[in-house]
Amino acid sequence: MKITKLTTYIVPPRWLFLKIETDEGIVGWGEPVVEGRALTVQAAVHELEDYLIGKDPFLIEDHWNVMYRAGFYRGGAVHMSAIAGIDQALWDIKGKALGQPIHSLLGGQVRDKIKVYSWIGGDRPSDVANNAKDVVARGFKAIKLNGCEEMQIVDTYDKVEKAVETIATIREAIGPYIGIGVDFHGRVHRPMAKVLAKELEPYKLLFIEEPVLSENREALKEIANHCSTPIALGERLYSRWDFKSVLSDGYVDILQPDLSHAGGITECRKIAAMAEAYDVALAPHCPLGPIALAACLQVDAVSYNAFIQEQSLGIHYNKGNDILDYISNKEVFQYADGFVSIPQGPGLGIEVDEAYVIERAKEGHRWRNPVWRHEDGSVAEW
């Protein structure tokens, strides 16, 4: 079997899909994208295409190493996301050719399903609390929300109190045993992060996510000493080498590699194994589309330390299209009692509705994240 063609589709709301074709008619799908940089990743995919055409798609490990190592300059969001989508598609081809789900080729599943959490939003604490209650009523056992808006490197306590009020209202609304993940989104700097972590401690959070930017992770030592809440991090790290010091430092409890950013299934399987050796949990980041989610579930299936999966159904970013729109076997993501089943079909286990993908690609997107500014006019972390 040989790779014959790579085709990319930029589709709403903010995704990039990749189709890899072979001379035997077997097709694989991947989702290589950086949110807000879809065109850049698309270009990187087609640069890697020059190497892949004519190659045996089964040689995934070798192709990964060539794509990573043979270009001399390596790593980073764009390069690793391009590799990630190609890697997903190659695994999809191999699984379909052999009639097996990818997790079967990775050693076999260790779980039948995995817990999922749902994003919630709202402008006021009461709105957020009501949205949280609605999500819990639908069966979810865990939720996640942004913990704060923009925050200066040293800021006033009214912003701290606003964040605490929101979490307190949610906790009162949904009771003591529903998991609450609070995402600081890297918006908070070291001086305020330790304050927020300590103030939120009484609400028994599932985790705090990106309390500081990954590049400022030396601050995690002090933050960890201000609370017992598990710390999660990793959506803006792109390889096992990026995660190496995070694990050796010992202050992060949950790794969140993104299967569409951190080198795909091949690399994230290795990151998961590294985390397991440090007794650190795995919770893959995935606010993206159905191909990315299917890839995450393949790694969740074989990773003992995976405990929860992010998914984007109904997320506020998904305007115009949602994850089920682009697949014909919509039942594959079976949500029940706060869990989603591990797909059992060949390859990724999803059937991409190619005709609909082509139709929506005519519209495409140029999604950009907002630019926030502080009261003094300086740019804020979003």
Predicted TM-score (pTM) of the model is 0.96
Residues 189 and 263 both lie in one domain: yes
159 and 188 in contact (C-beta within 8 Å)?
no
Of 68, 84, 101, the one marking the end of a domain is: 101
Q: What does the pLDDT average to over 347-351?
A: 98
- Side by side, the strands of the sheet bearing 27-30 are 3-11, 15-22, 27-30
Residue 234 region, left (φ>0) first, then alpha (ψ -120 to 50), else beta? left
pLDDT of 10 strictly over 70: yes
Beta bridge partners of 282: 255, 306
41-73 tens-digit pLDDT: 999 999 999 999 999 999 999 999 999 999 999
For residue 219, the surrounding DSSP H or E stretch is none
Q: What does the pLDDT average to over 250-263?
A: 98
CATH number (domain holding residue 195): 3.20.20.120
The count of residues in the chain is 382
Alpha carbons 282 and 300: distance in angstroms, whole number: 8
Catalytic-labelled residue, pool 63, 79, 185, 189: 185
Q: Tell which residue, 51, 66, 10, 63, has the closest CA to residue 33.
A: 10
DSSP alpha helices (H): ranges in the chain? 38-52, 60-69, 77-98, 102-105, 125-137, 157-174, 190-200, 220-224, 240-249, 264-277, 290-302, 354-361
Q: What does the pLDDT average to over 74-99?
A: 98
Residues 263 and 159 both lie in one domain: yes
Catalytic-labelled residue, pool 79, 189, 285, 365: 285
Confidence grade of residue 319 (pLDDT, cut at 50, 70, 90) = confident
pLDDT of 123 strictly over 70: no
Amino acid at 119: W
pLDDT attached to residue 75:
96
For residue 288, the surrounding DSSP H or E stretch is none
Residues 6+ apart with CB under 8 A from 175: none
Residues 306 and 334 both lie in one domain: yes
Alpha carbons 141 and 68: distance in angstroms, whole number: 38
132-189 tens-digit pLDDT: 999 999 999 999 999 888 999 999 999 999 999 999 999 999 999 999 999 999 999 9
Within-domain flag for 93: yes
Residues 91 and 110 both lie in one domain: no
What's the mean per-residue pLDDT of the chain?
95
Q: What does the pLDDT average to over 215-244?
A: 95
Within-domain flag for 308: yes
Which range (124-138, 143-157, 242-256, 357-371) has the least confidence?
Answer: 124-138
Q: Which domain holds residue 26?
A: 3-101
pLDDT of 122 strictly over 80: no
Active site residue 185: yes
284-298 tens-digit pLDDT: 999 999 999 999 999
Residues 170 and 318 both lie in one domain: yes
pLDDT attached to residue 316:
78
Residues 109 and 88 both lie in one domain: no
Active site residue 46: no
